[in-house]
Amino acid sequence: METVKVSGRNQISLPSRARHELGIESGDRLMVVVQDGMLILLPQPQDYVQSMAGLHRELWQGIDTTAYLNEERATWTTSDND
C-alpha cells in the first residue's frame, strides 16, 4: 500500500506503479467515487457504451431473456382498471 499527500492546492500525485498498472497518462481524466468512506479513482472511459458492454452478465445466466422481455412488455398493455 502506498500513500499520497494532499498539497496546499488540494492536489495529489498518483504513484507511478498505480499509473503504469492502470495505463494512466498525463492529461487523462479520472472519475471520483466516494463510497463507504473510501475515495475511489477510476480511469474515465473514452467510450462508455464499450466499457459497459457485458456488465453484470452473471445476473442473466439461466434466464430466458426473450421470455423475460415479453412478460415485461405484456404488463405495459395491461391496465389496472381491467
- The CATH number of residue 22's host domain is 2.10.260.10
pLDDT of amino acid 36: 96
Q: How many domains does the chain have?
A: 1
Please give the mean pLDDT across all residues of the chain.
Answer: 88
Assigned domain for 41 exists? yes
Assigned domain for 68 exists? no
The reported pTM is 0.53
Kindly list the distances between the CA atom of residue 40 and the CA atoms of 9, 23, 63, in Å, as whole numbers in the listed order.
20, 16, 33
The parent domain of residue 13 ranges over: 1-45
- What is the pLDDT confidence band of residue 9, given thresholds at 50, 70 and 90? very high
Q: Long-range contacts: 65-73, Cβ < 8 Å, 24+? A: none
CA 52 – CA 62 distance, rounded (Å): 21
Cell of 1: 500500500
